[in-house]
Amino acid sequence: MKPHKWAKEIKAWADGAEIEYYSYNIWSDWHEDIGWFVDYEYRIKPQPKKPQYLYVWKDGQHNITLTTNPPHPAQNIYNLQVIGKIKLEDE
């Protein structure tokens, strides 16, 4: 027997996942009263990604460093100081 077209999404919903449906060129939150129609598109609602930052910091000799992680507290022997944080965005 062939599984239902939306079996993965239905199982995820049964396990508590949020579901979206595609209609009129937009993804919207799905509610139980909408049903599971073969001619609709469904997906497990994507979770927002954790924001990524670029940290700008300098050491005691004024050397500037850019990293995706802030300096570890154990590096304080080098007099590191975060002087800025830039939020990175996906396109």
**What pLDDT, on the 0 to 100 scale, is given for residue 77?**
67
Across the beta sheet with 41-44, what order do the strands follow? Answer: 26-29, 19-23, 41-44
16-73 pLDDT, tens per residue?
A: 999 999 988 889 998 877 778 777 899 999 987 888 888 888 887 888 888 887 777 7
**What pLDDT, on the 0 to 100 scale, is given for residue 63?**
83
